[in-house]
DNA sequence: CGACTTTGGTTAATCGATATACCTGCGGGT
DNA sequence: ACCCGCAGGTATATCGATTAACCAAAGTCG
């Protein structure tokens, strides 16, 4: 199919929109001032609540503004105040054929919930790699397009906090438990607790050969979770059946699962670093003729909505990404000089037990 | 967990970022002009390629700009030119507890691919309902925050194209085959073809009792696909085993599936309006003790990445959402006065046959 | 009663870039 | 020698809002 444009008889939306076709254009502060019989300065002060304006005049101005449907121009305000009321979220996508991790959908939902009511916008960008991400921040800052940025997936040696600090751009970092870095970290910090709970659950079900599928080694949370996993097992006097690092792709999930299930001493439970991969792993296991959870148990991470509806329903660690997003937004807004309540992120990651985990199979 | 901020000994990122902490602030066009020994007008013209500037001076200016790391201020340019180089995408999410439909991730990927290289940004907003969506456009336009908008999920009596036309905002509408409306439609127009192909596939497999799960009746594509479905069956001398409208939520998918499978004359195949719902339906069927595809076949729509990895792998109609996104971006950019190639959207929706469809079970 | 404060507003500079109108040499034609 | 045209820039108004400085009128107080 071709995008309409040629071979159409009754073309009704020609080329670019002609300027001024919408009448006299949008009203400016001048029009409002004239309508209210005051100066533009008064309008500005009335709307912003600054300066000394009588209640009567203020109402008159507000009425005039509403009447004309006027809102201050974002560009003009941004220029004058050097604040754009825009926050950037840059998503690095592993490969460019796949879409964005569903994880981000949740995060965005959480962010938007706090940003929108305060008149802030979310500027979304997708980049292939870390180098492009840094270059993008430089450009966005150089152009003065944003007031702050949300950094996701902290890495062990992450160049971004330092960069943004140098650029003077407020930022928050997700996925890092570290304190005192160049930018504040938010949530996703007690990842270990979630993993520990998952391990405890599996141990209680009688599992002894538990394998762990980890994310890319360069991510901070990968290490945190991995050591939590190993430690939790160690406390029970066990060692991991296996630990494999992956690049977070579905392909890798399938490949690793197949490999783990072919091990001479097959693990009875698999712990995955996110739900997408867990789903893939579950599929791979089933395809290999194993039943979940009778032959092998599977645990995911993130508790995506979809997991509730699969068969079997996916047991997963809920880390409340939405709330983390909200907290990140609040923290960032505070750093942008906005007057917001302190971000409270009560609770920690919790395991949600569903159907993909069950008693360990009797020893063969 | 609490967001760090209190009870911390070595606070190292205090309150709002203090102004000017990053040195002399970002360079302006004046600095570049001074460095190059020319006027600011010359700098502007050199950078924009307008006016008459000698090649030598141009290079000198560009060098100075690069040296200082200067890019024109987006706010200033936007104010002067009345162009923000920002496009809005407003996502309406059915309920606020769930995240964003993965479908949108694909769409965004496609949009970004064309927007980013041209220096355009994507402003993302989430709203609960249609009324809020319209109000949001009004605000964004009143504030002059955007140059255009991508409208998704065309409705049969959609107020948005008219609204944006009145507001004078360039826009494209996704999911509408209609021509000649107030704004151009893009792709997602031959939905019928995809459904027809799916039906043909099922018929060839021997299915005779095929049920159709439809989206909300108010969406344009729902009607288009539904009639394509009924027509395709009619051509084979059949009637739908059932047609049910839903609100696109996972809950509805599960409920409808359970209802359909409990029908006295149980359908042997189910066609869903998107992959998320198909996955839910598949889960519901399996949970009801049915095997997919031996007892019941399932077809989705969208061909999301995840479908490839489930067990069984999901048969689905691929409508190339990413490409549609790219085409939408190009069409919109053209309407914004940008010089871009005409959007070509070759191909039409195609069925991808995987494992969730199989021969119809022998009649009981 | 005159200096002083307070109230309620206005004037004008400013943010950074763009575009129009306007100079300034300089070579060429006559 | 004089005017013209043009290449190559520059001075300045402008986009729309904010804000510091300022001002007029109306209390206020010793």
pLDDT > 90 fraction of chain B, expressed in percent and rounded = 69
Mean pLDDT of all residues in A177-195: 75
Q: What is the pLDDT of chain A when averaged over all its residues? A: 88
Q: Which of A286, A327, A348 sits opposite B3 (nearest CB)?
A: A327
Which range (B5-14, B63-72, B76-85, B238-247) has the least confidence? B5-14
Measured between beta carbons, the chain B residues lying within 8 angstroms of A106 are 99
What pLDDT sits at residue A20? 37
Distance from C-alpha of B231 to C-alpha of B239, rounded to nearest angstrom:
9
Q: Is A125 in Cβ contact with B116 (below 8 Å)?
A: yes
Of residues B339 and A270, more confidence is placed in A270
Distance of CA A223 to the CA centre of its chain: 20
Model pLDDT, residue A202: 98
Alpha-carbon distances, residue A35 vs A63, A68, A70, A256, B12 (angstroms): 10, 9, 12, 69, 50
Q: What is the distance between the alpha carbons of residues A218 and A223, in angstroms, rounded to a whole number?
A: 8
The answer to whether residue B21 scores a pLDDT higher than 50 is no
On whether the CB atoms of residues A100 and A65 are closer than 8 A, the answer is: no
Q: Tokens in use for B133? A: 């969506």
Give tens-digit pLDDT for A308-361: 999 999 999 998 888 889 999 999 999 999 999 988 777 788 999 999 999 999
pLDDT of amino acid B183:
83
3-state secondary structure of A175: coil
pLDDT band for position B54 (cuts 50, 70, 90): very high
In tens, the pLDDT along A236-289 reads: 999 999 999 998 888 899 999 999 999 999 999 999 998 989 999 999 999 999
Contact A300, A274 (CB under 8 A): yes
Nearest residue to B195 via CA among B348, B321, B356: B348
Residues near A85 by Cβ (< 8 Å), separated by ≥ 6? Answer: A74, A78, A118, A119, A120, A121, A147
Point out which residues pair with B66 in neighbouring strands: none
CB-based contact A344 B2, cutoff 8 Å: yes
Alpha-carbon span B223 to B156, nearest angstrom = 9
Tokens of B343: 């959007």
The DSSP secondary-structure symbol of A173 reads: E
Q: Which two tokens stand for residue A21?
A: 């076709």
The residue-averaged pLDDT of A170-189 equals 78
Minimal C-alpha gap between A362 and chain B (Å): 24
Q: What is the mean pLDDT of residues B329-358?
A: 91
Collapsing DSSP states into helix, strand and coil, what is residue B92? strand
Q: Is A66 on the interface with B (CB under 8 A)?
A: no
User: What tokens does A297 get?
Assistant: 């148990």
Q: Using a CB–CB cutoff of 8 Å, tell me whether B108 touches chain A.
A: yes
Tell me, what's the pLDDT at A88? 98
Would the pLDDT of A16 be above 80? Answer: no
In angstroms, the CA B329 to CA B168 distance is: 18
pLDDT tier, B191 (very low <50, low <70, confident <90, very high otherwise): confident
Please report, rounded to whole angstroms, the spatial distance between the CA atom of protein residue A54 and the C1' atom of nucleotide D26.
14
CA separation for the pair B226, B244 (Å, rounded): 10
What ranges make up the beta strands (E) of B73-227?
A: 86-92, 121-127, 148-151, 171-174, 185-186, 210-214
- Rounded to whole angstroms, the Cα distance separating A157 from A295 reads 39
Q: How far is A169 from chain B (nearest CA, A)?
A: 8
Q: A34-38, A51-55, A104-108, A287-291 — which is least confidently predicted?
A: A104-108
Full 3-state SS string of B122-158: EEEEEECCHHHHHHHHHHHHHCCCCCEEEECCCECCC
Query: Is A183 in contact with B13 (Cβ distance < 8 A)?
Result: yes
Q: What is the mean pLDDT of chain B?
A: 88
pTM of the model: 0.91
Phi first, then psi, for residue A27 (nearest 5°) are -70, 150
Residue A14's pLDDT band (cuts 50, 70, 90): very low
The helix/strand/coil state of A248 is coil
Q: Residue A4: is its pLDDT beyond 50?
A: no
Is the CB of residue B12 less than 8 Å away from at least one CB of chain A? Answer: yes
pLDDT, position A13: 45
Q: What is the pLDDT of residue B117?
A: 94
A104 and B CB contact within 8 Å: yes
Omega before A312 cis (within 30°)? yes
What is the predicted pLDDT for the residue at B170? 96
Residue A23 region by backbone torsions, left for phi larger than 0, else alpha for psi between -120 and 50, else beta: left
Q: How many CB atoms lie within 10 A of CB B97?
A: 10
Q: How many CB pairs under 8 A join A and B?
A: 279
List pLDDT tens digits, range B120-143. Answer: 999 999 998 899 999 999 999 999
Find tokens 């964004």 and name the residue. Answer: B140
**Residue range A222-236, pLDDT digits in tens:** 888 999 999 999 999
User: Residue B188: what pLDDT?
Assistant: 61
pLDDT tens, A46-83? 999 999 999 999 999 999 999 999 999 999 999 999 99
């Amino acid at each position: 199919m071709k995008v309409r444009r040629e071979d159409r008889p009754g073309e009704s939306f020609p080329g670019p929109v002609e300027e001024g076709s919408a009448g006299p254009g949008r009203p400016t502060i001048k029009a409002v001032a004239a309508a209210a019989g005051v100066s533009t300065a008064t309008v500005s002060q009335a709307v912003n609540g600054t300066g000394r304006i009588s209640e009567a005049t203020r109402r008159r101005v507000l009425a005039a503004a509403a009447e004309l449907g006027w809102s201050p121009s974002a560009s003009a305000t941004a220029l004058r105040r050097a604040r754009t009321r825009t926050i950037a979220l840059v998503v690095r996508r592993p490969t460019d054929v796949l879409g964005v991790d569903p994880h981000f959908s949740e995060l965005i939902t959480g962010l938007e919930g706090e940003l929108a009511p305060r008149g802030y916008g979310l500027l979304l960008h997708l980049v292939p790699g870390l180098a492009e991400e840094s270059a993008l921040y430089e450009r966005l800052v150089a152009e003065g397009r944003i007031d702050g940025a949300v950094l996701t997936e902290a890495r062990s040696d992450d160049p971004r906090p330092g960069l943004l600090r140098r650029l003077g751009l407020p930022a928050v970092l997700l996925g890092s438990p570290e304190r005192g870095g160049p930018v504040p970290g938010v949530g996703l910090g007690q990842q270990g607790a979630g993993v520990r709970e998952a391990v405890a659950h599996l141990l209680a079900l009688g599992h002894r050969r538990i394998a762990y599928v980890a994310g890319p080694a360069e991510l901070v949370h990968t290490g945190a979770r991995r050591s939590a996993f190993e430690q939790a097992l160690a406390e029970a006097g066990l060692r991991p059946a296996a630990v494999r690092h992956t690049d977070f792709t579905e392909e890798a999930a399938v490949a690793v699962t197949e490999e783990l299930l072919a091990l001479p001493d097959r693990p009875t439970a698999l712990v995955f670093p996110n739900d997408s991969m867990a789903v893939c792993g579950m599929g791979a296991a089933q395809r290999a003729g194993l039943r979940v959870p009778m032959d092998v148990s599977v645990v995911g991470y993130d508790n995506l909505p979809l997991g509730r509806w699969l068969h079997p329903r996916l047991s997963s660690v809920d880390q409340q990404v939405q709330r983390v997003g909200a907290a990140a937004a609040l923290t960032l807004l505070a750093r942008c000089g906005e007057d917001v309540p302190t971000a409270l992120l009560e609770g920690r990651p919790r395991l949600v037990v569903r159907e993909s985990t069950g008693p360990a199979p009797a020893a063969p």
